[in-house]
Amino acid sequence: MKRSMTVTLVLSGVLASGCDDQPGSNAASWAYGDDQTITNNTYAPGYGYWHAPYRRWFPYPYNYFDAGRGYYHGGFYSAEPFASPITASRAAGLSAGGRPGASGGGISRGGFGRGFSGRS
Amino acid sequence: MNRVRTSPRRDWQARVEEVGLLHHSPEGEKYWDESAYYELTAREVDTLEKAANDLHEMCLAAAQHVLDNHVFACLGIPVEAVPGILRSWERDDFSLYGRFDLAYDGSGPPKLLEYNADTPTALVEAAVAQWYWLEDTNRHADQFNSIHERLVAAWKRLAPATDGKMYLGGVKDQLEDERTVLYLEDTCSQAGLMTGRLFIEDLGFDPARGKFVDLQAAVVGDYFKLYPWEWMWREEFSRHLQSDRCRFVEPMWKMLLSNKGLLPVLWQMFPDHPNLLPAYFAEEALRQNQPAAAENGYVKKPRLSREGANVTIMEHGAVVEETSGDYDGEGYIWQAMAPRADFDGNHPVFGVWVVNHEACGLGIREDTARITGNTSRFVPHLF
């Protein structure tokens, strides 16, 4: 079988919702603050269950088992439960090492991007 | 293989725009062209798939050869990039995708023209627009195209190694780039990663933390860049690439593959391989070793050109076709001419997509000129 079974566009096509309250959204994270960790399967009404390795909310619990499809994690099903060492994660500022703007200035920009003349 | 003329869908512009292909008619010129399609056989698809998988393996072997023998200068790779390339290779840094451009007409074996291994585009049309075209027009036919689900699967493979968020970006004010990045963000999001868009011009560097940062000063730990490595190494922030402050996708080791200097290395390592064309670093070497090619035709290509720029076709000692561009300062390679596929005066190039190290899709571009450039039309296919 060479052909994709489905090509679903969530962001980039006409079906793009542009909403932040879809499954997989981080929109409920505001309620937890930048530095608060959320454990797997924490439930937020209207948003769903927190999947810590993915740092997002999903409509089903982490590693929820469906007899026909397997174990649900990160928006997908797999035959085995997803065994990630990450059982809790922060809702925001995940990679920041601090809140937005925490560096106190001195940040330089424009160091890349001056050579554009096409790609391949 | 046949090139089949057909009637475009009545609302084809709206249909391709609905699935994200807004750049279907740049400057009024037709780029997406569904007034024809290529009909392949299953055997031909298998042939293309196998050729791309074999070539990918050979390219990785050639990259190892370059590393083992320190012949980076042949590829025009700056010496300051070498340590980072070595580390990236040793770590086996994640690679998302690439596209082989192959000459093929369904008769002889596909021949490698080049490997767009760093910043390949024409992705939305290959992965999405032609898939929906098939759904609308020939839904019972097949298509060499599982690019979309392979991209999602590839991001899922990367996800556990990240801190959960992938930034993606290219340069500003380039519609095709924006659509490509948006589509890749879509696949990344569907894989469960948080995503953020960040133009490469907006990528910041915070000296206090020694980290690349986004516009809110959050650390950028993982960044998909639709921007070539060879340009990055010429620019101001290249000094921050010496230590591995950020995981870039594509990884730095892809500099070894996205370089036409690899073509002579491949020919040296795998002489007479059916999917290769004779290629050399010097014109005289080609003339001496390939007298038939010297007589019948060969191509002069810059090592680092893109979109068909600065390419010259020689036949019987004379220039028969050439393109202009800004890539004439990086050295050249000379490659024997591929057998010319001709369908009603159109010359197709077969772009076979490799995602997560595996061939998984095809996009065909054609032109009445013999050099495929950025205005060559994208024509869908089926089998």
Q: pLDDT digits over B183-197, tens only?
A: 999 999 999 999 998
Mean pLDDT of B148-169: 95
If you measure CA to CA, which chain A residue comes closest to B140?
A: A3
Question: Minimal Cα–Cα distance from B301 to chain A, Å?
Answer: 14
Q: Shortest CB distance from B217 goes to which of A13, A100, A118?
A: A100
What are the two backbone dihedrals, phi and then psi, of residue B369, each rounded to the nearest 5 degrees?
-80, 165
The label of the residue with tokens 């209207």 reads A46
Quickly list DSSP for B28-88: G---B--SEEEE--HHHHHHHHHHHHHHHHHHHHHHHHHHHHT-GGGGT--GGGHHHHHHH
In this predicted structure, the answer to whether residue A20 has a pLDDT above a threshold of 80 is no
Supply the pLDDT for residue B37: 98
Residues of A in contact with B204 (CB under 8 A): 107-109
**CB A76, CB A54: distance < 8 Å:** no
Any chain A CB within 8 A of the CB of B121?
A: yes
Contacts of B121 in chain A (CB under 8 A): 119-120
Contact yes or no for B143 and A93 at CB 8 A: no
Hey, of B219, B226, B229, B383, which one would you mutate to test binding to chain A, going by the most A CBs within 10 A of its CB?
Answer: B219
* pLDDT tier, B318 (very low <50, low <70, confident <90, very high otherwise): confident
Say if residue B235's pLDDT is above 80: yes
B326 pLDDT band, cuts 50/70/90, is low
State the DSSP H helix or E strand holding residue B345, giving kind and residue range, or none if neither: none
CB contact at 8 A, B194 and A56: yes
Distance CA B250, CA B248 (A): 6
Query: pLDDT category, B250, cuts 50, 70, 90?
Result: very high
* Residues 93-112 in B contacting A (C-alpha not used; CB under 8 Å): 99
Contact B328, B342 (CB under 8 A): no
B132 pLDDT band, cuts 50/70/90, is very high
Q: Which of B101, B163, B182 to mutate to test the interface with A (most CBs of A within 10 A)?
A: B163
pLDDT at residue A96 in the model = 29
DSSP A95: T
Which residues in B lie closer than 8 A to residue A18 (C-beta atoms)?
A: none
Residue B104: pLDDT over 70: yes
**Residue A104 reports pLDDT greater than 50:** no
* pLDDT (mean) for A43-59: 73
Amino acid type, B149: E
What are the C-alpha distances in Å from B1 to residues B37, B107, B346? 10, 9, 13
Residue B158 is predicted with a pLDDT of 96
* pLDDT score of A34: 53
Q: pLDDT higher for B77 or A2?
A: B77
Phi, psi at A39, each rounded to 5°: -90, 160
Q: Which residues of A touch B383 (CB under 8 A)?
A: 2
- Determine which helix (DSSP H) or strand (DSSP E) holds B358, and give its type and residue range: strand B358-367
Q: Find where tokens 């959204």 sit.
A: A25
Closest by CA position to B117, among listed B267, B261, B321, B236 = B261
Q: Which residues of B touch A101 (CB under 8 A)?
A: 216-217
- In chain B, positions 322-351, which contact chain A (CB-CB < 8 Å)? 325-326
CB contact under 8 Å between A96 and B217, yes or no, is yes
Q: CA neighbours within 13 Å on the CB side: how many for B110?
A: 24
Interface of B with A in 171-230 (CB under 8 A): 171-172, 174, 177, 179, 182-183, 185-186, 189-194, 199-209, 211, 213, 216-222, 225-228
**Residue B357 backbone class (left: φ over 0; alpha: ψ -120 to 50; beta: rest):** left
pLDDT digits (tens, 9 = 90+) for B43-62: 999 999 999 999 999 999 99
Listed as own residue / partner, the contacts of A40-47 with beta carbons closer than 8 Å and 24 or more positions apart are: A40/A87, A40/A88, A46/A21, A47/A21
Tell me the domain boundaries of chain B: 278-337
Q: Which residues pair with A90 in a beta bridge?
A: A37
Q: Phi and psi of B103, rounded to 5°?
A: -90, 130
Between B188 and A87, whose confidence is greater?
B188
SS3 state of residue B340: coil
Give the pLDDT of residue B167. 96
Question: Closest to B19 (Cβ–Cβ): which among A9, A110, A112?
Answer: A9
In terms of Cα–Cα distance, which of B29, B1, B9, B24 is closest to B122? B24
Q: Is the pLDDT of residue B288 over 90?
A: yes
Stretch B334-352: mean pLDDT: 93
**Encoded tokens for B7:** 């009637």
Output B21 or A114, whichever has higher pLDDT.
B21
DSSP B157-215: HHGGGSSSEEEEE--TT-HHHHHHHHHHHHHHHHTT-EEEE--GGG-EEETTTTEEE-T
Residue B88: pLDDT band with limits 50, 70, 90: very high
Average pLDDT, integer, range A91-95: 43
Give burial (CB, 10 Å; 0-12/13-18/19+) of A86: middle
Which pLDDT score is estimated for A119? 55
Q: Check: CB of residue B257 under 8 Å from CB of residue B304.
A: no
- Residues of chain A neighbouring B116 (CB-CB closer than 8 A): 119-120
The pLDDT mean for chain A works out to 67
Taking alpha carbons only, the member of B303, B308, B289 closest to residue B333 is B303
With CB atoms and an 8 Å threshold, state whether A109 touches B326: no
Q: Which residue has the higher pLDDT, B306 or B156?
A: B156
| pLDDT value of residue A8 | 86
pLDDT-derived band at A55 (thresholds 50, 70, 90) equals: confident
